[in-house]
Amino acid sequence: MTKIPGPPPLDGLRRRISRYRQEKPTGSKGDFVRETFCLSRPEARAKAREWFDEFPKAAYWTEVESWRQVEGDRIEFTMRRLPSAD
């Protein structure tokens, strides 16, 4: 009969995870600046255009991260960009 090996030891992985958590602040969503809005459809369009004009996509990686339609014709959306351009 062949002996089936058990699961691999996880000590190394646990140390790496612990080190990572100590180095990175908890609750951080990365290096991006995010702002969420809830506006009427025309206002939402204008606000997104304002962000793209002020923070060009090529330099700041600006994007509409998520959006959804809520009551009536209102749009809830999150804009995301880098804090500064290099």
Task: Provide the pLDDT confidence category of residue 1 given band limits of 50, 70 and 90.
Answer: low
Looking at the structure of the chain, the number of domains it has is 1
Domain membership of residue 62 as a residue range: 31-81
For 66, residues 6+ apart whose C-beta sits below 8 A from its C-beta are 77, 78
Q: Tens digit of pLDDT for each residue in 6-26? A: 777 778 777 887 777 777 655
Burial of 83: CB neighbours in 10 Å, binned 0-12, 13-18, 19+? exposed
Question: Which of 3-7, 49-53, 73-77, 80-84 comes out lowest in average pLDDT?
Answer: 3-7
Predicted confidence at residue 27, as pLDDT, reads: 53
Is residue 6 one of the residues assigned to a domain?
A: no
Is residue 17 one of the residues assigned to a domain?
A: no
Q: Tens digit of pLDDT for each residue in 61-81? A: 999 999 999 998 899 999 999
Percentage of the chain beyond pLDDT 70 is 87
- As a whole number of angstroms, the longest Cα–Cα distance in the chain is 72
